[in-house]
Amino acid sequence: MDISIVIPLLNEAESLPELYAWIKRVTDEHKLSYEVIFIDDGSNDSSWKVISDLSNQDPAVKGIRFRRNYGKSAALNEGFSIAEGEIVITMDADLQDSPDEIPGLVAMIREENYDLVSGWKKKRYDNALTKNLPSKLFNYTNRKLSGIKLNDMNCGLKAYRNEVVKNIEVYGDMHRYIPVIAKNAGFKRIGEKVVEHQARKYGKSKFGLERFVNGFLDLLTILFMGKFGKKPMHFFGVLGILSFLIGFGIAAWLLIDKAIHVWQGTPAPKVADSAFFYIGLVVMVIGTQLFLAGFLGELISRSHPDRNRYQVSETTFSTR
């Protein structure tokens, strides 16, 4: 099978027949064998009935229905788990992602040897103040922190080698950072393609401004887990030791100063009367807590069943 098209959705009954017809026309024109996987993320409209009807008409249409709303990441993760195509395409169900982009994305994976290609909606039809400007700031921060030079990290229209989606896990709200997750898993050939953005035809957006705050926190989580997930002591331990040494240095300086006064026979101020005494004490306590946090993190990491799970791309063995 050439491609699997994974489409998470929530209350998109009106757009699904049109989206399916559009996908079928494009895949038939370019002679691409396909499967379409709709993941109904707890819709309360007739979305599941539409998916069931489409599946009865075309065996290539598959559906997964959640009992309640779990979020886009959960929907994508379930879709990835059953995708069988050589290349996996993700897109939103609201018709803002154009299926006409599918052949170009497939070509970049096959001919230019990318592991992942992300769409870039260079010209958008969203509200400039509430979506476009925050999105630009969001993507700028992502580029600086992750080192991945994508202009639209959160674009729903993406293409992946099947190997990529089988070796990553998407949870929480981490769908915004699949390129970062893929990079952490060893898939570093990440490209970008300018894609057409369609104005929303039906319904309304399911995302609010809070996604930018939550998204930034999720990015920090991914970056930390990617670098220190299997060695938390390298992060907490270094900070803890540094903090403890600073606090110890402050305490030592106060004691030395008192000793000098005593040796010279001059009135010595009480150590406890200095604000630096309490600052040093607090910093040493914080340092000790950070070190213990790293130690506990190491214990948890070493007892985790995936502690020795690594991404293997190829193997070879001598037959002699």
Q: Are residues 217 and 237 in the same domain?
A: no
- Could you give the percent of the chain with pLDDT greater than 90? 48
3-class DSSP state for residue 4?
strand
Residue 20: band (very low, low, confident or very high) from pLDDT cuts 50, 70, 90: very high
Q: Are residues 251 and 275 in the same domain?
A: yes
Q: Does 257 map to a domain?
A: yes
At residue 34, what are phi and psi to the nearest 5 degrees? -150, 165
Average pLDDT, the chain: 85
Q: Return the structure tokens found at 188.
A: 């570093």
Q: Does 313 map to a domain?
A: no
The domain of 184 spans 3-228
Residue 206: band (very low, low, confident or very high) from pLDDT cuts 50, 70, 90: low
Q: Would you say residue 269 has pLDDT above 80?
A: no
Chain segment 74-128, per-residue pLDDT in tens: 999 999 999 999 999 999 999 999 999 999 999 999 999 999 999 998 876 655 5
CATH of the domain at 14: 3.90.550.10
Q: What is the pLDDT of residue 284?
A: 92
Residue 79 and residue 90: Cα distance in Å, rounded?
Answer: 9
Q: Does 320 map to a domain?
A: no
Domain boundary among 195, 228, 261: 228
Q: Are residues 195 and 251 in the same domain?
A: no
Q: Are residues 95 and 218 in the same domain?
A: yes
Global pTM reads: 0.73
Domain boundary among 167, 197, 228: 228
Q: Return the structure tokens found at 113.
A: 């040897």
Q: What is the pLDDT of residue 230?
A: 72
Q: Are residues 241 and 99 in the same domain?
A: no
Q: Does 308 map to a domain?
A: no
Q: Would you say residue 308 has pLDDT above 60?
A: no
